[in-house]
Amino acid sequence: MSHLFSSGEREGYIMIVEDSKSQAMMLKSLLTKHDYKVRDFEEGSSAFKAALEEPPILIVSDILMPGMDGYELCQKVKGTKELKEIPIILLTTLQDSMDIIKGLQAGSDNFITKPYDAKYLLSRINYLLANRELRYQGTSDLVLEIMFNGQKYAINSERKQILDLLLSVYENAVQQNYQLIEAQAELQRSNEHLISLNRDLEAFSYTISHDLRTPLNHISMSAQLLHHHYLDKLDEAGVSYVETIHSTTRSMAEMINDLLQFSRTGTISIHSQPVDLSEMCRKVMQWIHQDDPARDIDVKIEDNMQLTADQSLLMVVVKNLLGNAWKYTSTTEHPTIRVSSSQKDGKTIFCVKDNGVGFDPSRAANLFTPFVRLHTQEEFPGTGVGLATAKRIIERHGGTMWGIGEPGKGASFCFTINSPHSPLESTEG
């Protein structure tokens, strides 16, 4: 007569068939902890032989195994008169709807999806053991034919067995759906918290940067007045100190401006429109060249590069990329800058390439981190915020940006913008 065995009264053993040693150990530990005797096997054929010699009270089997898989083992057990009444639980990912049909054809009693909940697995084991004999009352040899995905399948499992299997699949689906809903809710809460933190951080950066400007302007103005009115009264060291104060405040002002721009790019609204990137690059190069008109540099910009983006924000990207290319080719004998586009996987890729000093590829992860620089201030002045700002702007447009470089062989900075030939919706950051 079927009954639930109390602790210390377990009869027989549960067979585990699992080729993963870690998974087998977890199952064995779980079941022995609840007073079940357990034998484990790594593949189906040896498990089937052992079952013929000493039938288990229940089998828990993985599906994907070398040699005889879980379906074949189940079919052989259910097709053997001495073993057919042994309940079988198949462990599966249930990624394919055909898994259910294969389980029905093989005569499986339950599906448990991986990763499984320990309490749920134990409840199914207890249920099947408690109903071992009840399951086979009123059985018949009737073959049930079903249509699935346009194919006909013959199912000869017992009615109670079929019901148990389908209920276990449904129960698993409900449980997975509940877990998914919980995960989505948690993700939503995390996203909202992250958005709030980002806004707070951007507001803090803006406030601090704005508040730093006033005292910095006073320091800079005082240094200029000191230099203008009292230069003849200062010795050589005094003049050097004043010049240091002036250059340092100028560098700090540049850093504050870059920080303000970086913080604003996260919240500013995007107003997209068609942009002639080729014409924009030519204008920016003219402005850059005006600062050093004597410099000879070979610049080639591809014609008719078109995209849809926020024009003012894209201008910030172009200024940063071309400004860097100009700066980092300053020590190159025959400097070149190339701006071009290409197509890959249905996306347009825009690149700014130079033959300057390049960078160490192993440090590429730091390229877009604010205030982290790959070159010293003495080598090439800057704040290390420009690329971070450019990348954020591109990501606000739904695109990506990356850099490729090698020391002494130049660098390429490329980006894509989402739907370059169709306007983006304006968004509030």
What does the angle CA 265 – CA 269 – CA 272 come to, to the nearest 5 degrees? 105
Superfamily of domain 270-429: Histidine kinase-like ATPase, C-terminal domain (3.30.565.10)
pLDDT of residue 424: 34
What average pLDDT does range 289-307 have in this prediction?
91
- Of the two residues 213 and 20, the one the predictor is more confident about is 20
Could you give phi then psi for residue 259, rounded to 5 degrees?
Answer: -65, -40
Beta strands, E only, 295-410 = 298-301, 306-310, 336-344, 347-354, 400-405
Residue with tokens 């099947």: 128
pLDDT of residue 305: 94
**CA-CA distances (angstroms) from residue 369 to 31, 76, 123, 347?**
50, 60, 51, 26
| Percentage above 90 pLDDT, the chain | 29
Say yes or no to pLDDT of 69 above 50: yes
Least confident range from 104-108, 145-149, 298-302, 420-424: namely 420-424
> What is the domain partition of the chain in residue ranges?
13-157, 182-264, 270-429
**CA-CA distances (angstroms) from residue 317 to 310, 321, 332?**
11, 6, 23
pLDDT of residue 302: 95
Say yes or no to pLDDT of 384 above 50: yes
Is the separation of the CB atoms in 136 and 158 below 8 Å? Answer: yes
- For 13-157, which CATH class? alpha beta
| Percentage above 70 pLDDT, the chain | 75
For the whole model, what pTM was predicted? 0.47
What average pLDDT does range 20-24 have in this prediction?
90
What average pLDDT does range 195-212 have in this prediction?
70
**pLDDT tens for each residue of 347-378:** 899 999 999 988 888 877 778 877 666 655 55
pLDDT of residue 138: 44
pLDDT of residue 51: 95
Q: Tell the CATH topology of 182-264.
A: Helix Hairpins (1.10.287)
Q: Smallest Cα–Cα separation from 106: which of 23, 20, 176, 44?
A: 44
Which string of DSSP letters, residue by residue, matches 80-140? STTTTTS-EEEEE---STHHHHHHHHHT-SEEEESSPPHHHHHHHHHHHHHTTTGGGTT--
Mean pLDDT over all residues of the chain?
Answer: 79
